[in-house]
């Protein structure tokens, strides 16, 4: 059977700038109020009027557009990798889904002009100035809307779980996990140039069997003031456990695995740099929505694979895993108080 043609974004759909990173800009769909409604307008909310004027395939979605970057991986390739490599690893409700959609002619030029106007008005982050949408990209990506824009009382916690298992090439008697070792190395470098240091949780706390360890990690997760509720959600999260399991299965990272360009290594590093979104409704009896995003397959070309191995060697040779570097003192790493005799060597 022939593959179905990609969706097409309707002409005239209005977009509102929401956020951006180094490689993409995210837009919210702005619907026009329904003029010919057949029900009393006084009996429905503004949100439901606007929502009803969007085509069904756009409801509950955001639009992601690609920026011109040095990597410039086409969205068609990103979508193919997502469908063939990432999607089989998780259930549909565990993923920030993405669907290829063809863009109307002229849309990229219009919204590049809008980005320039946002720069002039000061509504675009200064560090993003000068970066614009790729004019040769014919597609966008529809992604699951994990904002709480039109859901009063709903809160959104967002964080990167990082390495939920120790690096397979870490020293057997390590007193730091891979993430904590790297953070401490970077903080040492930051202090040398009087830059801001990073503070965050130990990823091993997130998947700990002890609730109090999970609670400790929530101190560093923005978006939810009710740490106890968030800790209980994470403590019982099957998605978090599944991500840990998928990371273990994709263990050809660190100093192990194929050299150079490899989908195996790319997948392993992608799973260790994704984002978890936790949408928590006001009503504690309503279901919590937990999804994983930022799962574009990482590119291991251009020296990236070599760089990942270089970092691992720095952590090992510099004593960062052992906690023996001269600048290392206190740490919130889960391994810092674990007796060395209780830790089995990690096998590649």
Q: Is residue 343 predicted with pLDDT exceeding 50? A: no
CATH of 7-144, one of 3.40.50.720, 3.20.20.70, 3.30.200.110, 3.40.309.10: 3.30.200.110
pLDDT band at residue 50 under the 50/70/90 scheme: very low
SS3 293: strand
What are the pLDDT digits (tens) for 322-339? Answer: 999 988 888 899 998 654
- CA trace torsion 82, 83, 88, 90 (10° rounding): 50
Q: Higher model confidence: residue 151 or residue 280?
A: 280
Q: Is residue 36 predicted with pLDDT exceeding 50? A: no
- 133: DSSP letter: B
pLDDT of residue 1: 57
Q: Is residue 224 predicted with pLDDT exceeding 50? A: yes
Take residue 137 and report the two structure tokens written for it.
């990209």
Average pLDDT, the chain: 88
- 341 closest CA partner among 149, 176, 172, 195: 172
Question: Of 6-10, 200-204, 263-267, 341-345, where does the model show the most confidence?
Answer: 200-204
> What's the rounded Cα separation, in Å, for the pair 258 and 281?
44
pLDDT band at residue 38 under the 50/70/90 scheme: very low
What are the pLDDT digits (tens) for 74-102? Answer: 999 999 999 999 999 999 999 999 999 99
pLDDT of residue 327: 87
SS3 240: helix
Q: Is residue 114 predicted with pLDDT exceeding 70? A: yes
Take residue 80 and report the two structure tokens written for it.
């193919």
Q: Higher model confidence: residue 243 or residue 341?
A: 243
At residue 168's C-alpha, the angle toward residues 271 and 233, to 5°, is 45
pLDDT band at residue 256 under the 50/70/90 scheme: confident
* Sequence ranges of the domains in the chain: 7-144, 155-342
- The secondary structure of 50-117 as a DSSP string is HHHTS-GGGTTEEEEEEBP-SS---HHHHHHHIIIIIGGGS-GGGB--EEEEEPPTTHHHHHHHHHHH
pLDDT band at residue 11 under the 50/70/90 scheme: confident
Tell me what the mean pLDDT of segment 264-270 comes to: 92
Question: Of 35-39, 133-137, 324-328, where does the model show the most confidence?
Answer: 133-137
pLDDT band at residue 42 under the 50/70/90 scheme: very low
What are the pLDDT digits (tens) for 142-187? Answer: 999 999 888 888 999 999 999 999 999 999 999 999 999 999 999 9
pLDDT of residue 32: 66
**pTM given for the model:** 0.87
Q: Is residue 346 predicted with pLDDT exceeding 50? A: no
> What's the rounded Cα separation, in Å, for the pair 9 and 335?
50
pLDDT of residue 170: 96
């Amino acid at each position: 059977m022939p593959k179905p043609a990609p969706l097409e974004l309707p002409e005239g759909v209005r977009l509102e700038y929401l956020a951006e990173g180094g490689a993409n800009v995210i837009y919210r769909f702005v619907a026009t109020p329904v003029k010919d409604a057949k029900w009393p307008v006084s009996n429905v909310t503004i949100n439901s009027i606007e929502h009803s004027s969007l085509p069904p395939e756009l409801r509950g979605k955001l639009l992601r557009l690609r920026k011109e970057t040095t990597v410039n991986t086409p969205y068609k390739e990103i979508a193919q990798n997502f469908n063939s490599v990432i999607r089989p690893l998780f259930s549909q409700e565990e993923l920030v889904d993405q669907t290829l959609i063809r863009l109307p002619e002229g849309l990229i030029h219009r919204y590049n002009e809008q980005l320039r106007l946002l720069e002039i008005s000061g509504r675009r982050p200064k560090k993003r100035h000068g970066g614009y949408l790729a004019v040769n990209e014919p597609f966008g990506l529809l992604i699951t809307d994990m904002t709480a824009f039109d859901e009063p009382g709903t809160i959104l916690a967002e964080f990167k779980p990082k390495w939920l298992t120790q690096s397979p090439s870490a020293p057997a008697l390590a007193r730091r996990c891979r993430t904590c070792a790297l953070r401490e190395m970077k903080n040492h470098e930051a202090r040398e140039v009087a830059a801001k240091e990073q503070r965050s949780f130990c990823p091993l706390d997130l998947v700990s069997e002890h609730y109090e360890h999970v609670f400790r990690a929530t101190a560093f997760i923005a978006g939810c003031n009710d740490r106890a509720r968030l800790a209980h959600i994470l403590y019982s999260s099957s998605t978090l456990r599944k991500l840990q399991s998928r990371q273990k299965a994709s263990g050809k990272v660190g100093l192990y695995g194929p050299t150079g360009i490899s989908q195996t290594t790319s997948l392993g590093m992608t799973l260790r740099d994704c984002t978890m979104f936790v949408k928590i409704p006001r009503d504690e009896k309503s279901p919590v929505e937990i999804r994983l995003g930022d799962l574009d397959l990482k590119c291991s070309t251009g020296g990236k694979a070599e760089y990942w191995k270089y970092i691992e060697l720095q952590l090992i040779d510099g004593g960062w895993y052992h906690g023996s570097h001269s600048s290392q003192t206190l740490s919130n790493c889960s391994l810092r108080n674990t007796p060395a005799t209780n830790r089995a060597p990690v096998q590649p």
